[in-house]
Structure 1
Amino acid sequence: MNLSDFCRRITGPDARLLPENHKLGARLICPEYSKSVQEVKTYPLLSQDRSFLLCWNFDSPGNLYATMMPSPENFCYHYSYSDGEYTQLHTHDYLELSYVVDGEFHQRILNKDVVFQKGELCLIDKNCLHQDCLTDQSGVVLFLGIANDMFTEIMNENSTPQKILSFLQSALLKQKDVQQFLHFRPSAGASEALDDSLLLLLKESYSPDSGSRYITKGLLFRIFRILSTQYDFSLSKEQKQTMNWIVFEEISDYIRAHFRDITIQDLVNEFHYQEDYFNRLIKRKTGLTYSAYLQQIRLERAEHLLVSTDKSIEAIADSVGYHNKGYFYKLFQEKYEETPASYRRHTR
């Protein structure tokens, strides 16, 4: 059973149907009741170390079936709507990732109408005002709510820096006064990989068992990994500037941690950009090429060791990545206008 079939099964005729006036209905689908009110949807689970899923099935024109999980008892809620109807304007106090399983999905985000096609995703920041549009088109949409604590835990356990993970952590979580969203579009085969992971997550949340928390966290890690490597997203000019600084800081930190024997191919393997990207980014931020920037870091480290340790100059040169003593002397003298030995004598 694929993701689309499973979503339709849990929102189909076999599910326990709630009465239309059930209090949970407004949580699942809250129709617009005011043009001026801005609701803040809070995290629905008591535990902040779990994610939750909300599934919408536009079964036929004017009929929407929804369910949420995990739940003490599986259920389904039916809502009759008019074509073009909106939900109430709202924000969340958590991150929401919406995924179009089938059909297309319309949203109004920051007063902008956006259409998401099958396989595309939208990640909405906590303070981002938006509404969902209910149209007379069949389709299935999956909403994934991620508590801040769980998201932070996933970020902290990610051992390989990735541009999207860094952006989410720094730009979405830390800049709490910024309203923004990200529209993800899949590369070839990406939606199939994401479907498989979301299906496993959905099944785990629909029928939780012992260890579900750990399985869920692992699947979330996998989902964000797919987003970071197989999906593209577009940024505003301001977001791109933020993104470039975040990536530069990560690259700079990595170079400083591995300056002794690093190569530009190591950066390619670690950050998944082309070689010329690193030269362009470093040049834009420092005015130096990659080679000149690495040389500067090595010589600054050598200068520190000359002043703060009694290591021989040969040992210092080797420790910062220069195995040719003559070449090291030449570079050091060009930068500091004296030999390493002379520099050590007068600074100490």
Structure 2
Amino acid sequence: MSLQKLCQDISCNDPNILEEGSHIGSRIMCPEYSLHVKDIKTYPLSQEERIFALCWTIFPNNRLYGTIKPSLVSFSYGCTFKEGCRTQMHTHEYLELAYVVSGTFRQQILGNDIIFKQGELWLIDKNCLHQDYLDPEPACILFLGIANEMFDSIISSQVADERIISFLQTALMKQKDLWQYLHFKPKDKNNKQMEEYLTKLLNELIIYDKASNYICHGLLMRIFRLLSSDYDISLSSKMQKKMNWLLFQEITSYIKENYRDISLKQLSKNFHFHEDYFNRLLKAKTGMTYTEYIQNIRIKEAEKLLLNTKLTIDEIAVRVGYQNKGYFYRIFVDKHKMTPAQYRKEKLI
């Protein structure tokens, strides 16, 4: 069964039809009721259920049908909307990955109107302010709500490329003055692999048993790997530079706080990048390799200790992170052309 047929079947054909205005229905489609209120959508399922799907099917008679999977009770929700209708401005306490199964779909994100076409996806940060437009043209949209714990696990697996992880890092750092969504466009519109993965994922959410979280986790890993390899990210070079600079500041701040016992392995675990990424980032921003950058921080700290304390040279070497005192001496001499003792004596005269 195609993804479009599956979405339509579960959103339109369930015998348990919810009436307009029901509580669950308002979770599926809440029309705009205020220009100033911001609705915060909490995660609708239990902590054990780490991903859910919201399916929307829009018909040309201004009729919308929707459903959520998994759900304790299977249902369809139908409502009629006026042309030009918008949902209430809202944010999520989870991340959302959306896909246009058919037609086009329009959202306002951070005050900008964005049109998403069939086959495109977008990833929205968990605190990004946005709303949906309901247009009369037929369309089918699949929204995936992903719990923060599952998302952390996905990016920790390093299946996504640096552009996606950079976005996630800015989200995790709660820097809300930057960029809060990513727009993915397929390089090859005839490639059906994404729809295959999403169909399997949706089928798993319909079945939903004890194994489903694990299966969905694996499918999401494949989806993000595919996004990294077969999709272009609609992101300006200016915005990419801002994101890189923000991430550079966060990484270097972490290094400065932990320079005594920092390692590439530790950085990789904390920021979810491959180890060679940090070398490339530091080289681009500072002209130094990772090793040179760490050495520079340690030697500067050693200089302060030499001039402002009575610690011995050996004690200072250990204090700044060098267990091999001979190596500390060599690095210090390479920079200052004198030993630490000579540096202390000369500067304190």
Is TM (by shorter chain) over 0.5? yes
Maintained 8 Å contact 1:127/1:176: no
Instruction: Indicate the residue corresponding to 1:173 in structure 2.
Output: 172
- How far does residue 137 in structure 1 lie from its aligned partner after superposition? 0.9
Maintained 8 Å contact 1:154/1:221: yes
Name the aligned partner's letter for residue 241 of structure 2.
K
Give 3-state SS (helix, strand or coil) of 1:66's partner: strand
Q: Residue deviations 1:205-253, cap 9 Å, x none?
A: 1121231111111112222222222222233535532235648969xx9
Call closer, same or farther: CA 1:60–1:14 in 2, change over 3 Å.
farther
Instruction: Indicate the residue corresponding to 1:33 in structure 2.
Output: 33
Maintained 8 Å contact 2:119/2:189: no
Name the aligned partner's letter for residue 47 of structure 1.
Q
- How far does residue 333 in structure 1 lie from its aligned partner after superposition? 8.6
Give 3-state SS (helix, strand or coil) of 1:133's partner: strand
Give 3-state SS (helix, strand or coil) of 1:24's partner: helix
CA distance in 1, matches of 2:9, 2:59: 11
Instruction: Indicate the residue corresponding to 2:243 in structure 1.
Output: 242
| TM-score normalised by L of structure 2 | 0.73
Q: Residue deviations 1:59-83, cap 9 Å, x none?
A: 3330111011100122111111122
Computed over aligned residues only, the root mean square deviation of the Cα atoms, in angstroms, reads 3.8
Maintained 8 Å contact 1:201/1:219: yes
Name the aligned partner's letter for residue 136 of structure 1.
P
Call closer, same or farther: CA 1:204–1:333 in 2, change over 3 Å.
same
CA distance in 2, matches of 1:83, 1:182: 28
CA distance in 1, matches of 2:169, 2:104: 30
CA distance in 1, matches of 2:294, 2:113: 51
- How far does residue 337 in structure 1 lie from its aligned partner after superposition? 4.5
Call closer, same or farther: CA 1:161–1:298 in 2, change over 3 Å.
farther
Maintained 8 Å contact 1:194/1:226: yes
CA distance in 2, matches of 1:268, 1:21: 48
Range with bigger deviation, 132-141 or 41-50: 41-50
Maintained 8 Å contact 1:48/1:149: no
Name the aligned partner's letter for residue 240 of structure 1.
K
| TM-score normalised by L of structure 1 | 0.73
Name the aligned partner's letter for residue 242 of structure 1.
M
CA distance in 2, matches of 1:154, 1:54: 20
Instruction: Indicate the residue corresponding to 2:9 in structure 1.
Output: 9
Instruction: Indicate the residue corresponding to 2:128 in structure 1.
Output: 128
Matches within 5 A, 1:39-58: 39-47=39-47, 50-58=50-58
- How far does residue 345 in structure 1 lie from its aligned partner after superposition? 11
Maintained 8 Å contact 1:70/1:206: yes
Instruction: Indicate the residue corresponding to 1:113 in structure 2.
Output: 113
Instruction: Indicate the residue corresponding to 1:319 in structure 2.
Output: none
- How far does residue 184 in structure 1 lie from its aligned partner after superposition? 1.5
Name the aligned partner's letter for residue 134 of structure 1.
L
Count of aligned residue pairs for this structure pair: 306
Q: Which runs of 5 or more structure 2 residues have no equivalent in the other structure?
A: 256-262, 266-272, 300-316, 344-349
CA distance in 1, matches of 2:48, 2:240: 28
CA distance in 1, matches of 2:118, 2:175: 30
Matches within 5 A, 1:1-348: 1-13=1-13, 15-47=15-47, 50-156=50-156, 158-159=157-158, 162-175=161-174, 177-178=176-177, 180-188=180-188, 192-235=192-235, 237-243=238-244, 246=247, 257=264, 278=280, 283-287=283-287, 293=289, 296=292, 308-309=323-324, 337=337
CA distance in 2, matches of 1:87, 1:142: 16
Maintained 8 Å contact 2:283/2:290: no
CA distance in 1, matches of 2:191, 2:245: 27
Call closer, same or farther: CA 1:161–1:310 in 2, change over 3 Å.
farther
